[in-house]
A and B are shown apart, each in its own frame.
Chain A
């Protein structure tokens, strides 16, 4: 088996400084556009945060252009997103509510911020009974600005552009385990049963059906590991205590321990039902990763680098990844023969992969800056506020 070290450790310079800067200009302007309103109307903490995040996103994009690699730079952003989202979110909860826990009466009054993870669980009850089974509000309110309509709108727009790349460029949660997976130099557990990658589909099927019976988002109530670092139902009896215990156990197991041991995104790859749901959108998305069979030497480095086991020997022979590919770029960056390439559907695989990569990255990074950037800025502003006041 090939080494599981980071696939981009020795990335050579790919473009000249001038050309890289030129390619970065649109993204720098986009960052300015995204952060200027907040910069002009916010307090000093948020202004500093907006400036820092705009620079951070622009520099990372520049590095992608300069080195021709994707995974490493995307990972910096994604891990920062995973770490800073809970910071800003928990701070907001504590400021508004005084606690990370949400009492049942607040849920009933529709004050629960909407999370995109619920989306697949809404479909059957909405179709059969015209009811949304999430205790949030459809439109933003003063007490709950994170409305269902806004979040589904953002998710849908990004999904149409990115497909399953949502899981690598937008998800609030995946960065935490990607950070843990990046810590060890080598994986301690290397042999993973390939059937594990089917588990998210089974969990998706089960939670979607159960949500229709229970008339509540079952995954959020019982199985979401990230409740541990966001919000959870207030522990008031044995049932809510059990729920909280499950959240913590899943978080420690799937988000901390297993990524450290396997160097894989185990929660995303082997558990997350939303990830499975998101995989379906890879079918309609125009971007994918392909393998040029004329260059591939079957070294297995792409399979080893893939954080979610989305590449098998058979899929490489067929010249493509599996449906659950997150387009993180790890396989492309790890391939020494340039056989793994970015690709626009309907074009030749051996055509112009760098052009396909650029097309994808402009869309993905623009979305990441717009959606994740604001989350990062909120987190950074919270940290600055916290440090400045203490």
Chain B
């Protein structure tokens, strides 16, 4: 403020001095805080106006420039017009850099909108087309052994596919999680020069197209070793896909564990395995859980390797060692290739069930993984405090015995 007044005084030194009465009420110089970002009403009106004008122009033009290009074409034309109109509106008032800035902000935002519209469109389309079949309770526990392709939705179900998916993914978890996490520990904690080679190979394997994992198991396990197609073969093939994903993300998480925690543990005299068991792994627990869950979500959705290795069946099969087994994605794929509307509806319902399972897993992963490494919930904090109090008591007792 003073700066401002000085400057006003500065040019004319000889000006007559103005005496300000100290007791006179001062002029109010309150300033409201300027908003630096965000959208003003003006911006919203410009965007809205441009959108309305674009839609109207598109309606007008549509029959001529893009005849019969469908709803999608209409959206494209309207969008192009919207960007042009918006640029023109902004250009009426602003300088060139500001015009470019605003138009680019709208373009970046619309990229995000397109992506999320596509995502929700995939989710809702699946639920919508499957809604008829999802309402029948028999969908969830019956199998397709007695249902003809032409049967209505009240017959048959996908219980066998749900069970098959559960068996396959459990087997795959049993195979990959201990192996993957131990390998990540190897890469970060105990690894020597060999760790570099293993890391490179694991990185390379994330590039393996999933169908090749299936082809590998098909050629070795089924053709050379002579086993039949089974749930186990499918579980092994999805394990080959999941293993590099789990190792890679667990590796990243373990690398984030602060080194001074390891050093503190070593300085207290803990052998390395105890440091890993009691310090490194608990610190990274939430990140490791996320790594596993994301790997599992990926494994659940794999269709291509299962197509080659699991075979196809319409009945319940609880034995993963024997006989073909079907999973949710494979059942979806199979159902929708049929021309029967009832089967296609079942296919969408199967896809919807699969998606709900993946969404739940994903939500759990977000919930666990949202916290940074080392942070604890209230309950965990209470438990830790209690354990620490017990330790204090134990030390005190020992002191008493010693003295």
The judgment on whether A and B are partners is no
Interface residues of A (CB under 8 A from B): none
Interface residues of B (CB under 8 A from A): none
